[in-house]
Structure 1
Amino acid sequence: MKYPNNIIEVGALLPDYMGFIFWKKSARYFDGDIPNLPPSIKKVGVFVNETVENIIEKVQKHDLQAVQLHGKESVEFCLNLKTELKNLKQVQIEIIKVFSVADDFDFSVLAPFEAVCNYFLFDTKGKLPGGNGTTFDWKVLENYPSTKPFFLSGGIGIDEMDAVNEILKTNLPVYAIDVNSKFELEPGLKNVQLCKDALQRIVTN
């Protein structure tokens, strides 16, 4: 999300999470102030190979409830960040670690991260760290060896909602559906009606 009025409009739909990208190279880079949102919405700061200090600064400035790491952050980095965030607030700030998935993705790389993040996020491997607008072959998730809940991401649009609902019927621990570029009028500006349609079409337990 990027534009205040649009943030408020989408916020009125009560999504569980709302993301704000703090990577300066992104067309969706956010450098404003987040408007007041319903308290049920968790504000997520999205970072790419950022320092712990700068992440903490953004968490404090914007009162973020979650941090999404979209770069090549190590297990040690995540542990350090987890420790600093725990010292920052009594309320737990969620850490979401992103992995870019291709058909040959090696799920064994996930194991060391299980103890240092709350969720994984699986996105499509592409030229950019996110926002590529393409899906990966979700069949590779049949090899998922963990019980760690994850966000499903990567080019999900309204046309993918039926397929999303099918994967939600499986035993995979899908925690959330992450949507972005296919719901945009331009980078960072969401089509509110499409977002509403998607929320109505997702089958929730």
Structure 2
Amino acid sequence: MPIPAKICGLKTPETVAAAVAYGAAFIGFNFFGKSPRYVEPEQAGMLGRAIPAEVVKTGLFVDDDDARIAAILAAAPLDLLQLHGSETPARVAAIKAKFGLAVMKVIKVRDPADIARAAEYATVADRLLFDAQPPADMKNALPGGNAVSFDWTLLQGFRSPLPWMLSGGLTPANLAEAVRQSGAPAVDVASGVEDRPGEKNINKIKDFLAVARSL
């Protein structure tokens, strides 16, 4: 059965069209201002109009307040809010209640204790995404998209009432092994389909989605 895949950090009509054409289940727009993948809300709104209804339009937010989330949604309607910061379970519940949209909480992983933290969000989020905690000595680390992975075997046997995704350092070359080791039912990629931070490669998007379809 194909593994649903999310292509995150898209900024151009060409890359959005490629992700849709090659079978992405989710398309992600990054609204974290310090990221090389940042997209203006108005641009995301324009790009979103070309995305079929069955593809989930996702917005990446990092510890944003209600006013900023509302302003972005006014310009770029979304289906799923990806919370990639230090949002508490209470904050996740509040965002979900206020905006009436599905919410995916990102869990940043370095060791088994981080996996265990996912249980705190089981009753307030709609989805989980496991991403790598950047190394402590990594300079200018981003909340995500750092092209680093974690020990995928930490997720072996993981069970949750919520659907979940694997992220962090995935590429077309390592995707099959990452899914085998982690048991991930869905995957997310940003840096692994780029030539350089923020610049997507259409052929890499095609290759990544081809592997996901084969699994």
**Shorter-normalised TM-score: what interval?**
0.7 to 0.9
Return closer, same or farther for 1:178/1:24 CA change in 2, 3 Å cut-off.
same
Paired residue secondary structure (2:160): coil
Q: Per the alignment, in what secondary structure is the counterpart of residue 202 of structure 1?
A: helix
Give the structure 2 partner of residue 157 of structure 1. Answer: 171
- Among 11, 28, 34, the alignment partner of 1:2 is 11
Which of 121, 126, 132 matches 1:113?
121
Q: Deviations over 1:6-60 (max 9, x none)?
A: 2233332231111111111111111142322222221111011101221132223
User: 1:56 aligned to 2:66?
Assistant: no
Distance between the aligned counterparts of 1:175 and 1:143, measured in 2? 12
The aligned residue for residue 6 of structure 2 is none
CA–CA separation in structure 1 for the residues paired with 2:163 and 2:61: 20
1-structure distance, mates of 2:213, 2:93: 34
Matched, 1:25 2:34: yes
Contact 1:107–1:143 (8 Å) recurs in 2: no
The residue that corresponds to 2:149 in the other structure is 135
Distance in 2 between the 1:40 and 1:29 partners? 24
Aligned position for 2:97: 83
Letter in 2 for 1:59: L
Which residue in 2 is equivalent to 1:196? 206
**Secondary structure at the counterpart of residue 28 of structure 2:** strand
Q: Does structure 1 conserve the Cα–Cα contact (< 8 Å) formed by 2:31 and 2:60?
A: yes
User: What is the aligned partner in structure 2 of residue 11 from structure 1?
Assistant: 20
Return the alpha-carbon distance in structure 1 between the equivalents of residues 185 and 68 of structure 2.
27
Q: Following the alignment from structure 1 to structure 2, what is the Cα–Cα distance between the partners of residues 94 and 72?
A: 18
Tell me the secondary structure at the aligned position of residue 130 of structure 1: coil
* Residue segments in structure 2 that go unaligned for 5+ positions in a row: 1-9, 135-140
For 1:185, the equivalent position in structure 2 comes to 195
Counterparts of 1:22 and 1:42, CA distance in 2: 16
* Residue type of the alignment partner of 2:177: A
Identical pairs, percent: 31
TM-score, with normalisation over the residues of structure 1?
Answer: 0.86
Distance 2:212 2:21 in 1: 17
Maintained 8 Å contact 2:107/2:114: no
Cα contact 1:165–1:203 (8 A) shared by 2? no
Whichever residue aligns with residue 29 of structure 1, its letter is Y
Structure 2 contact 61–81 (Cα < 8 Å) conserved: yes
Is there any run of 5+ residues in structure 1 with no aligned partner, and where? Answer: 87-92
Task: Provide the secondary structure at the position in 2 that maps to 1:116.
Answer: coil
How far is the alpha carbon of 1:84 from its aligned partner? Answer: 0.9
Cα shift at 1:103: 2.6
CA RMSD of aligned residues (A): 2.0
Structure 1 residues 75, 188: closer, same or farther in 2, change over 3 A? same
Contact persistence 1:44–1:66 (CA under 8 A): yes
Aligned length: 195
Give the whole-Å Cα distance in 1 for the aligned partners of 2:154 and 2:71.
37
CA 1:204–1:105 in structure 2 vs 1: closer, same or farther (change >3 Å)?
Answer: farther
Q: 1:143 to 1:10 in 2, by over 3 A?
A: closer
Structure 2 residue 108 is matched with structure 1 residue 100: yes
| SS across alignment from 1:84 | helix
Q: Under a length normalisation based on structure 2, what TM-score does the superposition of the two structures give?
A: 0.82
